[in-house]
Structure 1
């Protein structure tokens, strides 16, 4: 599966050294230049081969999105719409807009869930990972976390 990604999920997975959770389920991830800039703020960040930087075409929808969202989220949503691809995004406002545009969305919890379902990680490993993500500032509702882990 090929997806478009915003930066938040990539950053948390990189920070916790778990980009494998993406590579397990996606053959290719498209990111935009702005997202690339956001995730390479650390000197030691090396973009794996399965993540590809692409450009989005200027469009009315992109102009509209940039009015409501930051540049990275706007471009990611516009590219997902343009290429008819699912979108990895965790920010609430961006998710809501993407859903309204009928874009299939996936966040960190969805990625963890797919890794459990496909046998790449156990529920115990998933729980430990999500607890570490929370300790590192990632906000996850307890209810949603329990839903993923049941």
Structure 2
């Protein structure tokens, strides 16, 4: 499966050295140039082979998105729409706009959920990861995380 990604999930997973959580699920992750620039802001990054940078068509639709969202979110939404691919996005406003545009979305929570469900990581590993990323400043509702764990079958 191929997917488009905004920066947030990539930054969180990069910081934790966990790009494997994406490669477990997707054989290719497309990122717009502005998202690559966000990833590459402080440190030079070499993208894993399953991630590819793509240019986005500069048009009025993108300009309208950029009035509402940052460049990375805007370009990720536009690339997902132009390619009819699902989108990894975590910011609430961006998720709402993408959903209203008819895009299929998933966030970091969904990526971790699918990794648990498919047996790539254990619930305990996921709980540790959530603790680590919350200490890094990634905000996610404790209720959403709790609900996710409750929805998983007992192991």
Name segments (4+ residues, structure 1) moved above 4 Å: none
- Kindly report which structure 2 residues correspond to 1:107-126, keeping only aligned pairs within 5 A, or say none: 107-126=107-126
Give the alignment's Cα RMSD to 1 decimal: 1.0
Q: Name structure 1 gaps, 5 residues minimum.
A: none
Cross-structure match for 1:72 = 72
Q: Secondary structure at the match of 1:31?
A: strand
Cross-structure match for 1:9 = 9
After TM superposition, the score normalised by the length of structure 1 is 0.96
State whether structure 2 residue 149 is matched by structure 1 residue 149.
yes
Deviations 1:2-54 (A, max 9, x none): 00001010000000111100010000000011100100124353210000000
After TM superposition, the score normalised by the length of structure 2 is 0.93
Q: Name structure 2 gaps, 5 residues minimum.
A: 151-155
Q: Contact (CA 8 Å) 1:126, 1:149: kept in 2 or not?
A: no
Cross-structure match for 1:98 = 98
State whether structure 2 residue 63 is matched by structure 1 residue 63.
yes
User: Aligned-pair distance for 1:147?
Assistant: 1.6
